[in-house]
Structure 1
Amino acid sequence: MKLINRSVLCLAVLTALGGCSTDEKIVTNEKIVVEETVIEKIVTTDNGYAPVVTEGKTLSNTPDIIVKSENVVDDGDEITISIGATSDLHGRIFGYDYALDAEDSDAGLTRIATLLEAEKAANPNIILLDIGDTVQGNSAQLFNDDPTHPVVATLNALDFDLWVPGNHEFNFERSFVDRNLKHFNGAVVSNNIKWESNDANYIRAFQVFEVDGAKVAIVGLSPSNIPNWEASAPSHFSGLKFDEELASTRTAVDELINKHSPDVIIGAFHIGRSAEGGAGVHKIAAEMADKFDVILAGHEHATYIESVAKGDAAEGTDISTDGKGASEDKTLAGTTYNESNRAQSVKIMEPGKWGSALARADIKLKKNADKWEMVDTTLANISSKNVTQDPGLSAQFKYVDDMAKTDAQEVIGKVSGVFTPGGGGGEATGEDYNNEVGRLYSTIHTAKVVDTPLMDFINQIQLQKSGATISAASLFSDSSNLLDGQDYAKKDSTNLYKYDNTLIAINMTGANLKRYMEWSYAYFNGYQDGDLTVSFKKGAKAYMYDQFDGAINFVVDLTGEPLTMDDTYTVTNEGSRIEISDIDGKAFDKDAVYKVALNSYRWGSNIKKFGWASAEDVFYDSVNEQVYAIRDMLTAEVISKNGVTASEFSNPNWEFKQYQADGAITALRSDGGAGEALWNQLVNKEICINIDMDNPKYPGIVQAVNVNDSSSYFANPNKDSAVPLEVYQGCVVE
């Protein structure tokens, strides 16, 4: 039987039969009728593959080779193979943020659909990939019990060919993952997810496509750190293990080459460029540049196009035209990527988050006798900004949008009292997040630098539920706030706590509690003489900064050194920023054991991994509760009280030394001289703070506004505009 005939037959009966493999033994068992044609049903023996998730077998809904085009290409002819990819959709079928209850002009599969209409017209054989973190976020959990999640159904409607599961696919019971991977119409691939029982692949390691006779292989990869991130809920990855990325990818590619001898190899990796509990894209690219032609990545929520040289894992070289990852600059890329030099480097790219861009890789090949030779590759991230949402897809999934909005807008109580000093979230302006600009004016949220009822609300609920003495929680979003007198809707809980974390409580020694706190406040840069604001460590992520509440009193001194660790998580500097005065009315004791509440992500990805507590130290886990997600605990509290009152949660127990009444920052802002004048300029939006935009997902102030350094700020060119939006836009540097 020829491969192409087998593939066509397999595709024709795929729904009824559940998948094929060229390595399978085939027996004739019975006959069935498909479109009035009698064909033989394929029945598989014990070959390692299964059409549904089966312990110890590889889930396979596709044939070994999927034929996209059967055109015959003669010697000397060139073909262009196009790959399109999305990543980190996080539930965005539509360009709408249900937590903010606002349009998002560069998000949603409905906008990607419009882009794809043009892409498919230009190249009907485009291979479409989604690289994970697909079905979690943006109210997607409302549909978790659907037989097929609507985001998966949307991928099917758009004829996506391949899906790589990300870490957030495993935020729920494994049955959720199993069901949705099975119901995706294309290939599901990841080379490092294995069955613990026999080391077999959970899903395919790779998928081969045939386009005009050329074989293009896609190798999938998921983060090995998933068991740490989901440590509090092992049922989420029950029976599975996640192998180290580089070694597993080497093995998968060797098997791929030996079995199929593909002409092009593409990586589809849901991992960041740097390591996070395993090998990152840069390391794999440097080690395997001679194997891969393009690597499409996810997880980082970044938009970039880079080139990585064989053997050089230090960093990638930005080869985009504008330095922002929109399109490839051939002059920066160096020589043409062709047959003579393809083993020397590999290009990598990521299309950002939420459907903000469609990544496209065009791979040009030339037929030379029986061999396909590389002519060139060209990469681009096609922006969905202000692209019209596809009306057909929008109509098909309108019920999702309607249900999500109805749920988000459901009023469950009233807000009473001041949750953030100054009213608004912005420390300098007292204004809230501007949805149209997508930021606070200064990006400093008051609740990051001042003990507020806004954060105490989360921490006090965690204390009540867990029975702990101390609680730790993060301000995830700069758009979070609660205003006196406002209606409290479900979306407010989502905006305040946007992740699906559960709650853990552990017994922790005083020494390790101190380390935990020092590690958290390493989020900030050290104070420098003349600073009028704080600043954040470059690349700092908001969800990695916890504030501590409960029966603990402490002061944070930003002149102290931050805690540091080496690559093995051994503490190299204990840090000297945290001064704990007392816990539960007694002097702090590093040898005492304290009860600490924290979210499941922090527990698995940091505290347990660092060795600061073990599984035996867990005394509470909300996965056993009817209301198990922290966000839903907030909602349940508001429903039970018909609202939320600031005074019921206010527990001032910490402050920055620099923000005390006589602190260096406080004093400088009211010195009657240059410090006060410059601070008033920021308050009046006459100057702008320098914001690091290397990773747009985590824009931050890496340099404090400093009265002694005029380069630490710049004049707002729109300061005199009568239009508030234009004033904000004056500080936005693209």
Structure 2
Amino acid sequence: MEIKILATSDMHGYIEPTNYAEKNSDLPFGTEKIATLIKNIKKNATGPVIMIENGDFIQGSPLSYFLAKNKRVGELTQVVNALGYDVGVLGNHEFNYGLSYLKSAIASYNHPVLAANIINKEGQPAFGKAYDLIEKEGVTIAILGLVTQYIPHWEQPATVKDLTFKSIVETAKEYVPKLREQADLVVVAYHGGFERDLVTGEPTELLTGENEGYQLLQEVSGIDALVTGHQHREIATHVQGVPVVQPGYRGSHLGEITLEIEQTQEGFKVNESKAAILSVESVQVDEEIKKLIAPAGEEVEVWLDQPVGKVEGDMHITDPMVARIHEHPYIEFINRVQMAASGAKISGTSLFNNEGKGFGSVITMRDVITNYIYPNTLAVLKVTGADLRAALEQTANYLILDEGKVVFNPEFIMPKPQYYNYDMYEGINYTIDMRNPAFSRITKLEFEGKPVEATDELEMVINQYRAVGGGNYEMFEAGKIIREIQIDMTELIANYLKEHPVIQATTNQNFTVLR
């Protein structure tokens, strides 16, 4: 008998094949195209098909942002329900709009939501179930749902209060032996990825516990298939003999694991397994899903075209790397918005990816939300001068010299681009000297015209993700937060533009990167 496991992960609210930069796009991603693949596979399948939604579905696109702001999560989850998943798994970004919205999403799904390693005060899985047992054509398949344990390092403390996030390895060691007794096959669906090279076993990132997929397969036997996500990678392989998939980002690929099984006296046995990721490159959209989301999609396009401000001068980003090493008017603008909203005199922000284009002469909501892509709120921290210097050294480590040219450190591009972890600051004057060794590159650091001393106490504003240490900024933590601005940045930007309808594309060039 042939059993297929189909998995999506990290769809991030991209239902239609567009990145919202312009109208009427037909790009190679989106749930509408994934739906076509799924229906074709199910139609031609010779045996049971198991479908898993592996997290990060309700956040990430202008569509999902718009629906969240209007508390209309059901218009997103109806798409998931129409596809007929057997189970879903929570992702880390499911928490971004708060617990109330998350619980509304979970309640609106037709399938169980799994998260075995997120535990409440009573010691039980806090959301839905730990696992589900599915019986198809006489075969019992157990699906264990796991989520990256690193969520408290990114989320507002109030959101994760009273929740315990356990290691997935520890959790799997508890559950997999029990599931082997109850089921013929054990599948693990993990909203997390791999911390080591899958061939050599060499670490590919700091071993913080954010990704534990490699350790899981090294230490836990009895897993027949592993679905992963979170890193937005495209993976289809075998590790320790276990078929593994990770199907990219935004619905660019569908993960497919095929298990050939036979019944023996001891029960069902896997004779052969295959892992594949299927691209939607040449796939047409599914008309049923398109029709479901079209009303909301049309509303979003109208909303995105609303003008919210004007620019005098040039605020376009033509080269994202240049914008990181020479202060850009867009970056200075974002920092000014953060300072105005918080009252802090020092601000740090990032250029999150290489897709943002900055602002033209007329700023629309489309420009705002396709440049500032995360639903961040802001936090003001009280830090020491030593903390600030350490943060600047950390940010400088995201750059290297390559034949005399400053480039983004490739260690932080593969396996997942981390452009969002390189920060640029306003309110201080500083120099990064790339000729110096890592973590000794800050040769100038001044605040209000005076050198910053290690014992100085300073207030600074950064986004919530960074404020609790996200991006391995260990000098920042929740305990240093002295106030929060509970309005997300997209709204803060729009509000700032209402007060300042014409902005100047200027910079004060307060930082220098020497090569």
Q: Normalization by structure 2: what TM-score?
A: 0.92
**Higher RCO by CA contacts (8 Å cutoff, separation 6 or greater):** 2
Is 1:512 equivalent to 2:408 in the alignment?
no
How many Å apart are 1:604 and its aligned residue? 1.7
Is 1:263 equivalent to 2:184 in the alignment?
yes
Partner residue of 1:185?
110
1:173-252 maps to which residues of 2 (within 5 A)?
A: 173-230=98-155, 233-252=156-175
For 1:186, what is the secondary structure of its paired residue? coil
Higher share in strand: 2
User: Deviation string for 1:129-153 (max 9, x for gaps)?
Assistant: 1100100011202112446432211
C-alpha distance in 1, partners of 2:430/2:26? 40
User: Deviation string for 1:26-63 (max 9, x for gaps)?
Assistant: xxxxxxxxxxxxxxxxxxxxxxxxxxxxxxxxxxxxxx
C-alpha distance in 1, partners of 2:467/2:23? 31
AA matched with 1:604: V
How many Å apart are 1:631 and its aligned residue? 2.2
Is 1:449 equivalent to 2:325 in the alignment?
yes
- Identify the match of residue 509 of structure 2 among 652, 658, 662: 652
For 2:315, what is the secondary structure of its paired residue? coil
How many Å apart are 1:399 and its aligned residue? 0.9
Is 1:291 equivalent to 2:148 in the alignment?
no
1:488-637 maps to which residues of 2 (within 5 A)?
A: 488-525=363-400, 527=401, 530-540=403-413, 541-550=418-427, 552-562=428-438, 575-606=439-470, 611-623=474-486, 628-637=487-496
Q: In the superposition, relative to structure 1, how do residues 255 and 553 fare at CA in structure 2: closer, same or farther (>3 Å)?
A: same
Q: In the superposition, relative to structure 1, how do residues 556 and 611 fare at CA in structure 2: closer, same or farther (>3 Å)?
A: closer
Q: In the superposition, relative to structure 1, how do residues 614 and 535 fare at CA in structure 2: closer, same or farther (>3 Å)?
A: closer
| Contact 2:399 2:406 survives alignment (8 Å) | no
For 2:412, what is the secondary structure of its paired residue? coil
Partner residue of 2:5?
83
Partner residue of 2:204?
none
AA matched with 1:293: D
Partner residue of 2:54?
131
How many Å apart are 1:199 and its aligned residue? 4.0
User: Deviation string for 1:247-280 (max 9, x for gaps)?
Assistant: 012112233234x1x1111111000211543451
> For this pair of structures, how many residues does the alignment match?
497
How many Å apart are 1:587 and its aligned residue? 1.9
| Contact 2:468 2:478 survives alignment (8 Å) | no
For 2:186, what is the secondary structure of its paired residue? strand
1:266-415 maps to which residues of 2 (within 5 A)?
A: 266-274=187-195, 275-278=207-210, 280-288=212-220, 290-309=221-240, 345-369=241-265, 371-415=267-311
| Contact 2:177 2:222 survives alignment (8 Å) | no
C-alpha distance in 1, partners of 2:362/2:476? 40
For 1:97, what is the secondary structure of its paired residue? coil
User: Deviation string for 1:612-631 (max 9, x for gaps)?
Assistant: 244443222012xxxx1122
Is 1:475 equivalent to 2:398 in the alignment?
no
| Contact 2:467 2:478 survives alignment (8 Å) | no
Q: Which runs of 5+ in 1 are unaligned?
A: 1-78, 310-344, 427-443, 563-574, 659-734
| Contact 2:115 2:125 survives alignment (8 Å) | no
C-alpha distance in 2, partners of 1:122/1:266? 22
C-alpha distance in 2, partners of 1:175/1:596? 29
Partner residue of 1:149?
74
Q: Which runs of 5+ in 2 are unaligned?
A: 196-206
Q: Normalization by structure 1: what TM-score?
A: 0.65
For 2:153, what is the secondary structure of its paired residue? helix
How many Å apart are 1:83 and its aligned residue? 0.8
- Which entry has the higher C-alpha Rg, 1 or 2? 1
AA matched with 1:378: K
AA matched with 1:362: T
C-alpha distance in 2, partners of 1:498/1:147? 19
How many Å apart are 1:369 and its aligned residue? 3.8
| Contact 1:147 1:179 survives alignment (8 Å) | no
AA matched with 1:218: I
| Contact 1:220 1:269 survives alignment (8 Å) | yes
C-alpha distance in 1, partners of 2:22/2:397? 29
Partner residue of 2:203?
none
